[in-house]
């Protein structure tokens, strides 16, 4: 009997349960209730976010497929497409960091190769709690080992990402995984079931009891006491089997056998079967006795809700079963015909000869509740005013060393050296720069990929923060010489039932939408992760943006490392904006003020100019100016090159603002002295502010009349923090 307590334990409200009864004309049984609970979960249905996601621009001439499929697809020319997506695995990674992070990587790769693409690059965006929190070190260790262990075994390079720390993530870390793949434009596969009588086929690993109600758990607020009891909801990954699954699927995709294909991700066999049937306006009958199982006595409820990894569901053309089975058996994977496509519009499940569920497809997959949650617009923050006499808390040279070694800006080498970022031999620019660059299938073109967000800006003013995340991602792609194409996103927020959290979500979405339209940078895929809070304490709003760009001439790829004698040119305006800055937080101990404004026309104009100069061969190195301001950008260029630089401070600007202000839309370019005059003239004609700010040379960073800082001193400060943090007492198991 379905009691109110059982309904509540499935994450459904009384109103939602009443709606279920009205839709199917009776009370559901337990299997059917479980199906509704996962399909109507926030994770699968987007019931609190759907209304606002429609505001995002999703179309452009180069967009082949936007949101709604497993991943987004964009045309990159030459008969090829790029397929990519970003997704969260936050709650599982907090509960069980190794497996949570590992299966996040596995899941996002399946979203990409499901559509016919061979994965060529993985990225991740990691947000951890305060370094002082007792769980942080163990979580960092487990997550990094999980990402490295899975990606390295599968043989897909992990080429970039970001890792930051803030106390807002103490009880709810974020692990967002991104994957990019490349496919032939005429071999893109979708998930719409079709062809009455066509066989429905299960392939991959066997089904077990791991991950049951993972989607429901991902859609619920944490309590500080319940992480251990939720451990069984975390899936267990097998990267070696995933590698076999990739090869088997891609081999079958070369045949004329597949009608539709869907990853068994969140909600497992339930979501994959319902989504395929819904997209094809079809019905499906499944015989659960035929599902390969690794544990005896599994119930229909467990079979349908298991989130065991490395599994796919396909609809094949009738008569191709033997051909497909031979391929999967060759790769030592399970293969079973478990059902067929029907024209009933219903999902009918049988076990031991009895019907255990009989439900209409459309109301479950496409007509979940959609909530227009009330929201409050955050109050406008008060700008921070800093006068030069108020600043001598720390000399600027010491402040630079403090910033370059703080948790957010310190080198993440300890992390990315555990990832294989060179496997496949197509990684041209790896971790440590603005964006990674990966060659496309060994040819003469490449994709630049980046992941970006500044949560403290989103906390201070969500709309501005959403705009800035998109703009910074675009800058990072341009800084390598790439033409930006499109973005994916992973929108991480707290409890949407709280108006202040929903206000953060709406503000960030509207800022993202405005930036995407102005910068011609459409959204083609993404994921929403809500209820990221513990005991009522929400994370900072974190709309991570993953972007890709196209480089059509490998000779024009640039990194951030200049060479001896080159001139440094700053593109963009500098006023000394210190609100919500990293300097204010790390040096002054204050988290306040408005984030720097984002002028989208300015962003577009400056980006177009920089890209033109890179593609023309004028720019030899380029770095965008972001966290920590200009001084940090130049210091990072010195670290990348091993060369020093002479950095000037212009008259009329306070040193602290010039060095550490975080104005947007800025780049530092390194050019040969002979090219400087023409570059500045081109900038003037384009209406772009550009000025010479220094020269590369020597073995120290010299800022006006401040004490010089040797490159080695910078390197020690930059490299020390993370290994010291992780190498203290033994990391708890």
Catalytic residues: 43, 89
> Is the separation of the CB atoms in 357 and 27 below 8 Å?
no
CA distance 477 to 530: 28
- Strand ranges in 301-390 using DSSP code E only, listed in sequence order: 311-316, 334-342, 346-351, 354-360
CA distance 268 to 260: 16
Read off φ and ψ for residue 49, nearest 5 degrees: -115, -15
Helix (H) or strand (E) holding 165: strand 158-165
Read off φ and ψ for residue 573, nearest 5 degrees: -90, 145
Buried b (16+ CB within 10 A) or exposed e, 240-251: ebbbbbbbbbbe
82 strand-pairing partners: 74, 182
Residue entry with tokens 């010489």: 481
| Contacts by 456-459, CB closer than 8 A, 24 or more apart | 456/166, 456/540, 456/580, 456/582, 456/585, 456/591, 456/595, 457/580, 457/595, 457/596, 458/504, 458/508, 458/540, 458/541, 458/542, 458/543, 459/168, 459/504, 459/540, 459/541, 459/580
Read off φ and ψ for residue 109, nearest 5 degrees: -65, -40
CA distance 451 to 477: 10
Q: What angle do CA 701, 582, 477 make, to 5 degrees?
A: 75
DSSP-H helix ranges across 331-422? 361-365, 396-404, 413-416
- For the chain, the C-alpha Rg in angstroms (whole number) is 26
Annotate 85-122 with three-state secondary structure.
Answer: EEEECHHHHHHCHHHHHHHHHHHHHHHHHCCCCEEEEE
DSSP class of 556 = G
| Paired tokens of 217 | 């758990």
DSSP class of 540 = P
Strand 667-671 versus strand 709-710 pairing type:
unpaired
Count of CA atoms in the C-beta half-sphere (13 A) of 434: 33
| Paired tokens of 595 | 């984030």
| Paired tokens of 272 | 């994959």
Residue entry with tokens 């590992």: 102
Measured in whole angstroms, the distance separating CA 147 from the mean position of its chain's CA atoms is 13
Number of Cβ within 10 Å of residue 711's Cβ equals: 19
Closest CA to 568 of 429, 666, 671, 662: 671
What is the DSSP secondary-structure string of 375-395? Answer: --PPPPPPPP---GGG-TTS-
In angstroms, the Cα distances linking 405 to 297, 393, 426, 729 are 55, 18, 31, 21
In angstroms, the Cα distances linking 538 to 171, 504, 531 are 9, 11, 8
DSSP class of 707 = P
Number of Cβ within 10 Å of residue 608's Cβ equals: 14
Residue entry with tokens 């391929």: 327
């Amino acid at each position: 009997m379905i009691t109110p307590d059982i309904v509540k334990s499935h994450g459904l409200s009384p109103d939602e349960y009443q709606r279920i009864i009205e839709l199917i004309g009776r009370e559901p049984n337990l299997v059917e209730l479980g199906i509704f609970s996962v399909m109507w979960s926030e994770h699968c249905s987007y019931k609190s976010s759907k209304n606002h996601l429609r505001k995002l621009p999703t179309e452009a001439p180069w967009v082949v497929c936007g949101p709604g499929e497993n991943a987004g697809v964009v045309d990159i020319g030459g008969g090829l497409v790029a397929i990519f997506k970003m997704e969260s695995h936050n709650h599982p990674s907090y509960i069980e960091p190794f497996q949570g992070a590992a299966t996040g990587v596995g899941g996002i790769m399946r979203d990409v190769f499901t559509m016919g693409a061979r994965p060529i690059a993985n990225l991740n965006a990691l947000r951890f709690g305060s370094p002082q929190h007792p769980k942080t070190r163990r979580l960092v260790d487990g997550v990094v080992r999980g990402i490295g262990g899975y990606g390295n075994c599968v043989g897909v390079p992990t080429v970039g990402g970001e890792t930051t720390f803030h106390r807002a993530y103490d009880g709810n870390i974020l692990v967002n995984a991104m994957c990019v793949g490349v496919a032939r434009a005429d071999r893109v596969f979708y998930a719409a079931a079709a062809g009455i009588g066509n066989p429905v086929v299960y392939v991959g690993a066997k089904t077990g009891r791991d991950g049951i109600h993972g989607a429901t758990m991902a859609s619920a607020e944490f309590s500080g006491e319940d992480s251990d009891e939720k451990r069984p909801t975390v899936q267990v990954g097998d990267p070696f089997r995933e590698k076999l699954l990739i090869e088997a699927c891609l081999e079958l995709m070369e045949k004329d056998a597949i009608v539709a294909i869907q990853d068994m991700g969140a909600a497992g066999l339930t979501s994959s079967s319902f989504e395929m049937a819904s997209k094809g306006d079809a019905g499906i009958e499944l015989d659960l006795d035929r599902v390969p199982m690794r544990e005896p006595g599994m119930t229909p409820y467990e079979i349908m809700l298991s989130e065991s990894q490395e599994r796919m569901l396909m609809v094949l053309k009738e008569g191709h079963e033997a051909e497909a089975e031979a391929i999967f058996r060759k790769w030592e994977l399970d293969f079973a015909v478990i059902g067929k496509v029907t024209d009933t519009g219903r999902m009918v499940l049988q076990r031991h000869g009895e019907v255990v569920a009989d439900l209409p497809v459309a109301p479950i997959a496409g007509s979940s509740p959609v909530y227009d949650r009330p929201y409050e617009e955050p109050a406008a923050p008060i700008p921070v005013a800093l006068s030069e006499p108020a600043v001598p808390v720390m000399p600027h040279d010491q402040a630079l060393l403090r910033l370059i070694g703080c948790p957010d800006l310190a080198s993440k080498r300890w992390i990315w050296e555990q990832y294989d970022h060179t496997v496949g031999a197509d990684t041209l620019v790896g971790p440590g720069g603005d964006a990674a660059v990966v060659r496309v299938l060994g040819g003469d073109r490449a994709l630049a990929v980046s992941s970006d967000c500044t949560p403290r800006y989103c906390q201070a003013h969500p709309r501005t923060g959403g705009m800035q995340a998109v703009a910074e991602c675009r800058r990072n792609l341009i800084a390598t010489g790439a033409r930006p194409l499109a973005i994916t996103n992973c929108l991480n927020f707290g409890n949407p039932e709280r108006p202040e959290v929903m206000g953060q979500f709406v503000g960030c979405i509207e800022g993202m939408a405005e930036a995407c339209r102005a910068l011609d940078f459409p959204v083609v895929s993404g994921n929403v992760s809500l209820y990221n809070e513990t005991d009522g304490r929400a994370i900072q709003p974190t709309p991570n943006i993953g972007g890709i760009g196209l480089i059509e001439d490998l000779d024009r790829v640039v990194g951030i490392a200049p060479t001896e004698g080159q001139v440094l040119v700053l593109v963009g305006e500098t006023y000394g904006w210190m609100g919500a800055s990293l300097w204010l937080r790390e040096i002054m101990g204050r988290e306040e003020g408005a984030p720097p404004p984002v002028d989208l026309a300015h962003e577009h104009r400056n980006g177009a100019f920089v890209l033109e100069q890179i593609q023309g061969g004028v720019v030899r190195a380029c770095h965008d100016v972001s966290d920590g301001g200009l001084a940090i950008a130049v210091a990072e260029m010195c670290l990348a090159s091993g060369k020093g630089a002479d950095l000037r401070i212009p008259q009329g600007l306070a040193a602290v603002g010039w060095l550490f202000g975080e104005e947007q839309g800025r780049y530092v370019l390194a050019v040969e002295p002979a090219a400087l005059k023409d570059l500045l003239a081109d900038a003037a004609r384009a209406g772009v502010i550009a000025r010479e700010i220094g020269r590369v040379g020597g073995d120290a960073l010299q800022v006006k009349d401040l004490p010089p800082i040797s490159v080695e001193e910078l390197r020690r400060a930059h490299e020390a923090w993370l290994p010291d943090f992780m190498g203290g007492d033994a990391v708890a198991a």
